[in-house]
Amino acid sequence: MNRLAGKIAIVTGGTRGIGLAIVQGFLTEGARVVFSGTSEASLARARGALPAGAESEGVVADLRDPANGARILERASARFGGIDILVNNAGTLSRSNEWQTTPEDWDLVMGVNLRTVFFLSRDAARMMKERGGGSIVNVASVAGQIGGIAGSPAYSAAKAGVLGLTKSLARRFAPLQIRVNAISPADIETDITAGFPPEIRARLVAMTPLGRFGAAGEVVGAALYFAADESSFVTGQTLAVNGGLFMS
C-alpha cells in the first residue's frame, strides 16, 4: 500500500478495461489520478467503479484530436499541481485487413495509438522536469512484436512504433530524470476482445502457453512497478504481460 503516495498520475483511456484497472490500482496505492474518457457517460461509469472519496478526476478528451492531450495536462496541473506519472493507455483497434484498410483508417489508428503518445509524453515531460523527474508508461501490445492476428496491419505498426518510441524517449528524457518504459500485453479480457470472433479467440488461446486470455488486473502490477520508485533505475524497457505468447 501507498507505493504511489504523494504522486500525481494521468491515465489516458482510463474509463474501461486495462485503463480503468490501472486507475483503480494507482488510487489504491495512494496516487491522485486524472483519467480521460471519450464521453461524460464513460466518465460517469468509471467513477462508479472507483472508491468513495478517491482523489481523482475524469476529463473528456477524444484523443483523435491531438490538441485534447493538453487539456488533460492542464487539468492535472490545476487540480493537483503537476504530474509525476503518465500512462499512455488510450488506443483504438482496427480490424480492417490488409486489403480493406483505407488511408483514413491508417491515419486514425496511427494518430490515436502513436502520434498522441509522442506529443502527450513530450508535453508531460516539460511539466515533470519542474518536479525533478517522473515516469512515463506506454501501453503497447504483443501485436507490435509478432505482427498481430486480430487487429489490422495499422494497429500492429502503431504498437511497434510505441515500442521504438519508448526507447527513443527514454534516452532523451533520461537527463531530466524522467523514465520511459512500456508494457506489452497480449489479449486481455475486455469489452474489445469479447467481440473477437470465436475462431480468432480459439487461435489466440492455442498460441498462448498459459492457455487463456489475461485479466485487466494482471496488467496493473507492471504499471505500478514502472510508476513507483522501486523501478528508479529502469528505463527504456518493455515488460511483456502475455502468458508466454511472445518470448524475447
Q: What are the grid coordinates assigned to 127, written together?
A: 511539466
CATH homologous superfamily for the domain 8-188+215-240: NAD(P)-binding Rossmann-like Domain (3.40.50.720)
What pLDDT shows up at residue 97? 87
Beta pairing partners, 134: 178
pLDDT digits (tens, 9 = 90+) for 20-49: 999 999 999 999 999 999 999 999 999 999
Task: Please tell me the distance from the alpha carbon of residue 246 to that of residue 226, in angstroms, as a whole number.
Answer: 20
**Is a pLDDT exceeding 90 seen at residue 213?**
yes
Between 149 and 182, name the one with better pLDDT. 182
What mean pLDDT comes out for the span 221-234? 98
What pLDDT shows up at residue 225? 98
**Is a pLDDT exceeding 90 seen at residue 62?**
no
Task: Please tell me the distance from the alpha carbon of residue 196 to that of residue 209, in angstroms, as a whole number.
Answer: 20
The pTM of this model reads 0.95
Q: Calculate the average pLDDT of the chain.
A: 94
Helices (H), 87-132: 103-110, 116-128
The band of 248, judged by pLDDT with boundaries at 50, 70 and 90, is: confident
Cβ within 8 Å of residue 212, ≥6 positions away: 205, 243
pLDDT digits (tens, 9 = 90+) for 66-125: 788 889 999 999 999 999 999 999 999 888 889 999 999 999 999 999 999 999 999 999
What mean pLDDT comes out for the span 240-245? 96
The band of 1, judged by pLDDT with boundaries at 50, 70 and 90, is: confident
- One of 106, 118, 155, 173 is an active-site residue; which one? 155
155 is known as an active-site residue = yes
Nearest to 61 by CA among 144, 123, 143, 127: 123
- What residues does each domain of the chain span? 8-188+215-240
Q: What are the grid coordinates assigned to 92, written together?
A: 483504438
Helix axes 153-173 and 103-110, enclosed angle (nearest 10): 30
pLDDT digits (tens, 9 = 90+) for 159-200: 999 999 999 999 999 999 999 999 999 999 988 888 888 998
pLDDT digits (tens, 9 = 90+) for 94-108: 888 899 999 999 999
Judge whether 178 and 134 are in contact, CB under 8 Å.
yes
User: Amino acid identity of 134?
Assistant: G
